[in-house]
Structure 1
Amino acid sequence: MARRDISGAVDFAYLEGFAMGDQTVIEEVLALFREQAALWTPLLTPDHPGWRDAVHTVKGAARGIGAVTLGEVCQGAEDGAASLHEVKTALDLVLLDIAAYVHEQALRSLRG
């Protein structure tokens, strides 16, 4: 994976600006998002009584890292305009972007 694999599901420039370029903070925030995503995913089924709370939590976390589309899809799920499948698909795209970004940063650290 490399920067070319980033789809745009996450606006990393937004995240970098918000973190004032502190790569340690960015890495911690992205690691936390990935850990939390593993907890959220099982809740994102219509059978789970807490799916609405999970969607709301994902929405806020997504907006915090610059994953605008995921935030919008979550808002749509809260409003009944989007499905939980769409939320999971958007979340997967964000996680792929995060993996590509983290990989790119790791490569940069090896070169530097």
Structure 2
Amino acid sequence: MSDDSPEIDFDHLRQYVGKDAELTREVFGMFQNQVDMWARSLTADADDEIWEAVTHSLKGSALAVGAIRLADLCERAEVLVGAGNRPGARDVAVQNIEFRISCVITEIQRWEYRDKLGKPNL
């Protein structure tokens, strides 16, 4: 896997996990658990409090693994509350976030596959 992944900034991730594959697996597992938990509540019709909590939590999880593009989407979605919630904006945000989550998970699966093959990942 190259370090120029469009979904995961491995340089960012290495600041926290070094080249420790076991710790990387753990961080990726926590990310997937967080996404599974929070993404269920990511709905365009959520009340503002839930919307803010979900998008903020997903942003934090994304930053923890170096998924900068996903974190940026979540940060932009966080403000879609109150007067900032324009018609249709949350629908688009949900679609974009869900797509980006799937891209990050695919990148994690690639890393896991290479890890199982014993190829250097970090």
Indicate the TM-score class for this superposition, using the shorter chain for normalisation: 0.7 to 0.9
Instruction: Tell me the distance in 1 between the aligned counterparts of 2:58 and 2:41.
Output: 11
Q: Deviations over 1:31-64 (max 9, x none)?
A: 1111121111211112233232111001011111
Q: Which amino acid aligns with 1:27?
A: R
Report the structure, 1 or 2, having the larger helix content. 1
Q: Which amino acid aligns with 1:102?
A: E
In the TM superposition, structure 1's runs of 4+ consecutive aligned residues that sit over 3 Å from their partners are none
Aligned length: 106
Instruction: Report whether the alignment pairs 1:46 with 2:28.
Output: no
Identity %: 26
Instruction: Tell me the distance in 2 between the aligned counterparts of 1:93 and 1:73.
Output: 13
Per-residue deviation at 1:9? 0.6
Structure 2 gaps, min length 5: 81-88
TM-score, length-scaled by structure 1: 0.82
Instruction: Tell me the distance in 2 between the aligned counterparts of 1:44 and 1:85.
Output: 10
Q: What is residue 102 of structure 2 aligned with on the other side?
A: 92
For the pair shown, the structure with the greater C-alpha radius of gyration is 2
Tell whether the 8 Å contact from 2:51 to 2:78 is kept in structure 1 after alignment.
Answer: no
Structure 1 gaps, min length 5: none
TM-score, length-scaled by structure 2: 0.76
Instruction: Report whether the alignment pairs 1:59 with 2:55.
Output: no
Which structure has more relative contact order (CA 8 Å, sep 6+)? It is 1
